[in-house]
Structure 1
């Protein structure tokens, strides 16, 4: 009888049970990556490209909701006309570019 108690107490297949315990966490991690992290990184990449392509004459929307026309482009700052006022805006605070001007062809 004592040997049957020892056999019942020791689980069979220790490596398989460890894999079975880790597998749900790996699957949850993959789901989070493909549903949350990857799409956010793609949106961030598109927004950075949008900010890098801002040129003079574009109509922009700031994060505060102001709509203006780009008058001058510098490295990290834009001079934007809001109505009759010219203001400097940090490039990273641009939410959207409404009317993208076409590239000027010089002939």
Structure 2
């Protein structure tokens, strides 16, 4: 029984191989299309947003001036007391200053942000 099936399987395989050879030889651009689509997706999903964040960070670092209230990446709040080339002096308490790089600034603190935080805390206390 297995002897009679072998020629049928072999003939089917040769037909399949011949069909795939003609299909792949017909258009090489179609075989490259999935790779192009993968690279395009990686660009729009990974590289483009990263460049946008880098531009925002560079704009933040260049806009820091003396007197700005900032939050460091470590979570500490402070006021910028002096600006040097790539260094900042941050006053974290009265007569306590630390020297940090501009890259360690997480964000600037705005008055409206702080007011929103205080308002939310007050709302939570009044609900209880």
Query: Could you state the TM-score of these two structures normalised by the residue count of structure 2?
Result: 0.65
Gaps of 5+ in 2: 1-13, 112-128
Give the number of the structure with larger relative contact order, counting CA–CA contacts within 8 Å between residues 6 or more apart.
1
RMSD: 2.2
Out of 65, 90, 96, which is 1:55 matched to?
65
Rg larger for: 2
Within the candidate set 19, 22, 28, 1:11 is matched to 22
Instruction: Show structure 1 runs of 4+ deviating over 2 A.
Output: none
Report the TM-score when normalising by structure 1.
0.77
The CA distance in 1 between the partners of 2:106 and 2:35, in whole Å, is 36
Structure richer in strand, relative to its length: 1
* Greater fraction helix: 2
How many residue pairs get aligned? The number is 94
- Given candidates 70, 85, 88, the residue that maps to 1:75 is 85
